[in-house]
Amino acid sequence: MSAFRTPRWPRAALSGMAAAALLTAALPTAPPARAADRSGSPVPARYSHQQLNWQPCAGKPSLECARMTVPRDWHHPDTGADLTLAVSRHRATGPDRRRGVLMMAAGGPGASGLTRPADFAARSPAVGAAYDVVGFDQRGVGSSTPARCQTDAEFQDFYAHDFRDRSPAALRGVLGRSRQLAAGCLRRSGDLVPWLTTEQAVRDMDLFRALLGVRKISYYGPSYATWLGAYYATEFPQRVERAVLDSNLDFSGTWQNAEAGQPRSFQRRFEQDFLPWIARYDATYHYGRTAAEAKARWEARRRSLRDHPLTVGSLTIGPNQLDNATIQNIYNAQRQFPQLASALSALDHWPTATPAERTLVGKLFGSYLSPGFAATFFSVTCNDTPWRGDLGYWIRRSGEDTAAHPLAGARELAYAATCAAWPVPAAPRVRVTGKGLPTTLMLNSEHDPATYYEGALAAHRALRGSRLVTVTGGGDHGQYQNGSACVDGLVNAYLLDGAAPEHDMTCAAGPLPVPSGRG
């Protein structure tokens, strides 16, 4: 469970937030109409008695949207200006079969979850018939009260260099830009970012539950939303009917430890899955007949972009952009391997690239994250759990990871140095145990690059009573609604009938894609 500590943010960052008496964790254990915290004190009526004014969601005819008011700090709800959360609902299409509310959340942290219930229900119509599927933009994200840390120009500059450059000048530049990012969060959103934590967000979720008028929810969450869901289930186990955690971070530990394994797992996905695949189709992509040849060509392109960056419209493609596009496009083989391979091939014959190829390159190389995403990502990951502040340690460690796992290891210093420069985090520590929960269903592939399998195993051990479905022979990120009849059948049986597996199980990954026109 959690214990509250007063945030150690600079006084200037907390303007308008006077010190308040210590409170223990905040939200409902009473019936939905009267949410209360664990001490028995009711949540202030301005939150618990508000009405959700549902209106059609723009661009999503099957979806309703509303706005919800939450306190900036659930532990001191009368201090500071309130926040607004955008929430959504896809009503169950089979009212006679309706079994409750399924809340879903987005990954990141920093991705928008507001419109996801519409697509989720469309892809799983039986689940959409049985549940009101609801979603939200987490505090700091999108249509909710947003966080801001960088201008567009500052965000571009953060990634504009070469993270593999280990010269003293380059290292000073990385550390300086990381400090500037943290300072920018203080300067532009200092009265918000201390409260952008997973622990605060789960209390927003429970208020949403209460305002929906239900005693319990079921839950689906992928990627970072596994961390969010595990924290919610730990803080409010009596509110959980069923929960599916898809592609799991190791929510039993710290963000520092969770991110420490990503250089290895991204390199594994790149070298063991993508490179052999593109080599298999050398006749299509002309990128090398073996994985080693394809890797050598990719490294040669990176060196070329370091020495001669490519300009595509307003976009400058340098070595970090090659890293970023590759990282972002190895999450899902069917959807992304062919487009990444086509873009890499186009770079090799750029003077004769077709308009379609140039458009694809601009799309893939120009869509990595955003200033808004980064603001929430760093706020949550730096706030939730402590980070080591020893920059000498991070310089040494990032050097080792850059040499061994360069695809994602090269960026490690920039990310870690941002959290090392962050004010001392003071979010209550939530320790996930599974106590009081029904059987939780967990899904993970063996070669997932972002939520790597070793971390999922640790999370599975911590979440006692959970069942893990391992997708063998694959590395996609996100298993449900990803084309596996085995996975979808298990999840649907669990959500619709409560049929949790009696033990851990495996499902075989589907085949890798075949380029169009080839057998």
Catalytic residues: 223, 448, 477
Q: Is 27 helix (H, G, I), strand (E, B) or coil?
A: coil
Strands 60-70 and 55-57: antiparallel
DSSP string, 342-390: HHHHHHHTGGG--HHHHHHHHHHHT-S--HHHHHHHHHHHHHHS-----
Residue 404 CA, distance from chain mean position: 25
Positions of E strands within 41-165: 55-57, 60-70, 83-90, 100-104, 131-136
Q: Which residues contact 46 (CB under 8 A, 6 or more apart)?
A: 69
Which of 467, 480, 418 shows the shortest CA–CA distance to 259? Answer: 418
Dist CA 136 CA 212 (whole Å): 13
- Across the beta sheet with 240-248, the strand order is 55-57, 60-70, 83-90, 131-136, 100-104, 217-223, 240-248, 441-445, 467-472, 505-508
CA distance 420 to 390: 7
Torsion of CA 65, 68, 74, 77, to 10 degrees: 170
SS (H, E, C) 406-466: HHHHCCHHHHHHHHHCCCCCCCCCCCCCCCCCCCCEEEEECCCCCCCHHHHHHHHHHCCCC
In 10 A of CB 23, how many CB atoms? 16
* CB distance 94 to 130 below 8 Å: yes
Distance between CA 171 and CA 168 in Å, rounded?
A: 5
On the CB side of 400, CA atoms within 13 Å amount to: 8
The SS3 of residue 502 is coil
